[in-house]
Amino acid sequence: MTFVRSSILLLLWFTLTGFAAPNFIVVIGDDVGWDAFGCTGTASARTPNIDKLAKRSCQMDRFYCSVSQCAPCRAELYTGLLPKHNGVLANAKKEPRPGVRNVIDRLGPLGYRVGLTGKLHFKLGEASFDKIDGFSPNGNGSGQTHSFDGVRGYINKAQADDKPFCVFICSTHAHHPWDHGDEALFPTENLKLRPHYVDTPTTRQAMAKHAAEVEVLDQQVGGTLAIMKDMALQEDTIFVFLSEQGIAMPRGKWSPYEHGSRALCLAHWPGKIAPRKTSALAMYCDILPTFLDYADENYPGGEADGLDGRSLKALWSNPDIASHRDAAFLSNVHPFWQKALVTSQYKLVWSGHPARDHIWQNFTSKGKFFSRPWAEWTELAARDEAASEKVQRVLQPGVMELYDVLNDPYETQDLAGQAEHKERIQTMHRELKKWMAAVGEETEPPPVEAAAKKKPRARKRNNQ
């Protein structure tokens, strides 16, 4: 079936059947970026369910969270607002925002039951999620378990009451402590390292541990799809898989780089969402207005509704549409002040205080496995020039860095010093400041004294 014919059939379906609000099921991972799956090119991944789903979905792997941390990522998802507007600037930095409405506040009046099982890490809005038992809520611990009985029961109850539903299945994989799954299935000698990694034994072991957790996440996706098939939900239910921010490794989680801020989004609805791969730029805040667009025949659009997000419905439904956003905006303020603008090919990263060592104290914490690779990196850097260059690239970024993320997704080649890109940097910097001003941010970094007065500290809290 050609894309053109698919578009005609989609239009015919909506014309003949009229408007019908679908159900929504969302599975979201934890600390796992776009690059952890077979469908995005990782040969060592054991993700058969996600890979099979990708072939039958609109696959988006240029999907960004504005802050690569758990709390702000979820706040962006559930409110459709960027951090400065929803008030969740980082896990450890929040500002009150009275009047913020969440996904329950918005879908509830449309008749939806909105439930969540697993990791919450979210407290904005007036209404609360219906609690669904079955998935462990605390990502920081061992012994994580999951059962789909609660999800099945919740959907059955909604159907019995003739109510549409929106269910979030929030996994704790692949959040540390990375002790679930079988790491022996991922021989360390066979793993291909990210190009900005330093090759050490615990670096390879960290990748194996993380991959084992991603396999558990894949099994959870498979279990969700099995329930949908068993309960005959495919015809009236949109399924979305979101991978969340990246792995807790240098230039991953807690950073604005691709390894930290870039996610995978799969949208599946047989016959209504066109299967394909798209490089269209999108953000986590786009999910809520998308759901509202599908749920409300008269939805005016995100901007008209006061949201930062923009509906993806047209992109998902029409394979002839190739783009969604001109750029994505990334806004880190803790542990380090860094802003970034991503276009279809380039990313500009602006570091407010580049002289500070840009490695958070979490990476020197004795209780976290991901601190061991960093210790080995720094030890090797003292006697190996290649390792030293990679460590210094992490510790001391340039004030302005420019990367061709289309051809260099791990941002190993900074183009900022090349004369041919001078005008591009200036233009992107102006656009970045426009984004910042539009969401109420100061358009200059805070003073060095204010930024260094209090060292960032790793807080002990659930689901961080």
Q: Provide mean pLDDT across the span 394-401.
A: 97
Q: Provide mean pLDDT across the span 73-86.
A: 98
Q: Which residues of 378-403 are buried (b: 16+ CB within 10 A; e: fewer)?
A: bebbeeeeebbebbebbbebeebbbb
- Asked: is 21-325 a CATH 3.40.720.10 domain? The reply is yes
Report pLDDT digits (tens) over 170-215.
Answer: 999 999 999 999 999 999 999 999 999 999 999 999 999 999 999 9
> Is the pLDDT reported for residue 360 higher than 70?
yes
- Residue 162 neighbours by CB under 8 Å, 6+ apart: none
**Mean pLDDT of the chain, nearest integer:** 93
Q: Which CATH architecture has domain 330-452?
A: 2-Layer Sandwich (3.30)
Report pLDDT digits (tens) over 313-326.
Answer: 999 999 999 999 99
Report pLDDT digits (tens) over 401-456.
Answer: 999 999 999 999 999 999 999 999 999 999 999 999 999 999 999 987 554 444 44
Report pLDDT digits (tens) over 15-54.
Answer: 444 678 999 999 999 999 999 999 999 999 999 999 999 9
146 in Cβ contact with 181 (< 8 Å): no
**DSSP class of 350:** E
| CA–CA dist 351, 53 (Å, integer) | 38
- How confident is the model at residue 454, as a pLDDT? 44
> Is the pLDDT reported for residue 131 higher than 90?
yes
Closest Cα to residue 90, out of 71, 108, 75? 71
The residues spanned by each domain of the chain are 21-325, 330-452
Q: With bands split at pLDDT 50, 70 and 90, how would you rate the model's confidence at 5? A: very low
Is 464 exposed, middle or buried (CB count within 10 Å of its CB: 0-12, 13-18, 19+)? middle
Closest Cα to residue 138, out of 120, 158, 151, 163? 120
For the ranges 51-55, 139-143, 149-153, 197-201, the lowest mean pLDDT is seen at: 139-143
Tokens of 417: 């010093």
Residue 404: CB atoms within 10 A of its CB come to 14
- How confident is the model at residue 166, as a pLDDT? 98
> Is the pLDDT reported for residue 463 higher than 80?
no
446 in Cβ contact with 336 (< 8 Å): no
The helix (H) or strand (E) run that includes residue 387 is helix 385-395
Instruction: Sheet with 400-404: list strands edge to edge.
Output: 328-332, 338-342, 346-351, 400-404
